[in-house]
């Protein structure tokens, strides 16, 4: 499950236009769980400060060249940047 989520985040990140700073999006998984994810060069502070997360973000250690974080999101959270 985590691998599938990580793969989804990587594909979504590659589809995003290049811009300065990290971006995050909130979405509903196929299992019906609302989550937020962030891909960036830092600790995804914009997502953490957005109040969209119901749980502490789980982040990797930039193994793929960028920090990838995800968290359980507030129900009904819209896409954010």
Q: Residue 79 falls within a domain, yes or no?
A: no
In whole angstroms, what is the distance from residue 36 CA to residue 69 CA?
8
Query: Quick one: pLDDT at residue 79?
Result: 45
What is the per-residue pLDDT for 81?
A: 42
Rounded distance, CA 41 to CA 72, Å? 21
Number of structural domains (the chain) is 1
Say if 27 falls within a structural domain: yes
Chain-centroid distance of CA 31 in Å reads 17
Tens digits of pLDDT across the chain (81 residues) = 666 666 666 666 655 554 444 578 888 889 988 899 988 766 678 888 888 888 888 888 877 778 888 999 886 545 444
Domain that holds residue 55: 2-72
For the full predicted model, state whether its pTM sits above 0.75.
no
Q: What's the pLDDT score for residue 49? A: 82
Residue 48, in any domain of the structure? yes
Nearest of 65, 73, 74, 75 to residue 35 by alpha carbon: 73
């Amino acid at each position: 499950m985590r691998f599938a989520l990580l793969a989804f985040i990587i594909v979504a990140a590659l589809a995003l236009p290049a811009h300065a700073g990290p971006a995050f999006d909130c979405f509903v998984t196929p299992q019906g769980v609302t989550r937020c994810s962030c891909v960036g060069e830092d600790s995804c502070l914009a997502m953490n400060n957005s109040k969209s997360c119901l749980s502490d973000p789980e982040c990797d250690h930039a193994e793929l060249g960028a920090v990838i974080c995800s968290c359980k999101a507030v129900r009904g959270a819209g896409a954010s940047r």
